Amino acid sequence: MNQRERFTVAIRCPDCGQVGSAAWEENAADNRQHGVHRELILLSNGFRRSRQRGLSGNPRIICDRCDAALEQ
């Protein structure tokens, strides 16, 4: 069974300043033969996941207050 690591990061809207957090899950350090595979699993209230992906390949996070996209 593959181990997964979870971590939470603080996020802040670049336009209106709203703050929140995003929780991610990724494959464990000892299971990255094919690179890091990350999944957005939870966003705090005030933010939503976009269907579009950012330059990193991760889903874009959008501020509900002003519709700005957070850079990743």
pTM of structure: 0.78
User: How many structural domains is the chain composed of?
Assistant: 1
pLDDT, tens only, 7-22: 899 999 999 999 999 9
pLDDT, tens only, 29-60: 555 555 567 789 999 999 999 988 887 778 89
Q: 38 to each of 10, 15, 16, 43, 66, how far by Cα in Å?
A: 16, 26, 27, 14, 26
Question: Which domain does 22 fall in, by range?
Answer: 4-70
